[in-house]
């Protein structure tokens, strides 16, 4: 049960999601930011449709939107101009578009979150190794009191091992479920 909780917590830290409100229509600076985010997404960005006022469903894609959009060329009050992977230029009515969605991998953030989780687990185990590794209560102590070199090395090894394992786990989770960033047109500025 604890492992499942750690996994879910790590997934939330790694995946996260971001909503970035931009102007409607997006400014050239907004378009540059969106295109920078989309550069890391092999699937390309996806347009999503404007929702009715009381919509209860999640963000919905535009049914006849261009496939695998690589970047936005321009935007004005009437249309959004995009380029697909194949190089085709599409014009989409701006009234139909609420924003774009991009899946963005974040391996650095994932490694930090996983490493921190691994360090926490490793610290608890290392502390237990140091506290409980001394001679038993009935043993005659002939050496100097305090931690012995072997338990200290074992504790340090535990910290390093769990931290590295956590970092690798975080990166694997991020690889299979990258974060989603949305850029909503019309929010903010």
pLDDT in tens, 27-36: 899 888 888 8
Residue scoring higher pLDDT (17 or 25): 25
- In a domain? residue 1: no
Residue 42 counted as domain residue: yes
Q: Is 2 within a domain? A: no
Q: Is residue 123 a part of any domain in this protein?
A: no
Q: What are phi and psi of 37, to 5 degrees?
A: -65, -40
Token reading at 118: 């691994």
Residue 156 lies in a domain: no
The DSSP secondary-structure symbol of 94 reads G
> Is there a cis peptide before residue 25, judged by omega within 30 degrees of 0?
yes
The radius of gyration of the chain's CA atoms, rounded to the nearest angstrom, is 25
The answer to whether residues 3 and 166 touch, using CB atoms and an 8 Å cutoff, is: no
Q: What share of the chain has pLDDT > 90, as a percent?
A: 1
Query: What is the Cα–Cα distance from 88 to 33, expressed in whole angstroms?
Result: 21
Beta-carbon contacts of 34 under 8 Å, excluding residues fewer than 6 positions away, are 22, 26, 45, 72, 100, 102, 183
Domains identified in the chain, total number: 1
The answer to whether residue 30 is domain-embedded is yes
pLDDT digits (tens, 9 = 90+) for 91-120: 888 888 888 888 766 677 778 888 888 888
Query: Is 57 contained in some domain?
Result: yes
Domain that holds residue 72: 17-104+179-185
pTM of the shown model = 0.54
Measured between alpha carbons, how far is 83 from 86 in angstroms, rounded to an integer? 8
């Amino acid at each position: 049960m604890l492992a499942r909780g750690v996994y879910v917590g790590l997934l939330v830290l790694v995946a996260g999601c971001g909503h970035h409100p931009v102007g409607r229509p997006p400014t050239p600076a907004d378009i540059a930011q969106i295109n920078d985010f989309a550069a890391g997404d092999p699937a390309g960005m996806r347009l999503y449709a404007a929702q009715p006022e009381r919509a209860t469903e999640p963000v919905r894609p535009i049914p006849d939107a261009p496939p695998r959009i690589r970047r936005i060329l321009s935007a004005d009050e009437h249309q959004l101009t995009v380029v697909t992977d194949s190089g085709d230029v599409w014009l989409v009515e701006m009234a139909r578009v609420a924003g774009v969605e991009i899946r963005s991998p974040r391996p650095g953030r994932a490694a930090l979150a996983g490493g921190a989780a691994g360090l926490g687990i490793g610290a608890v185990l290392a502390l237990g190794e140091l506290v409980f590794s001394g001679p038993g209560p009935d043993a005659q102590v002939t050496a100097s009191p305090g931690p012995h070199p072997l338990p200290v090395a074992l504790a340090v090894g535990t910290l390093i091992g769990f931290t590295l394992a956590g970092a690798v786990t975080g990166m694997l989770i991020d690889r299979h479920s990258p974060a989603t960033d949305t850029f909503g047109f019309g929010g903010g500025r």
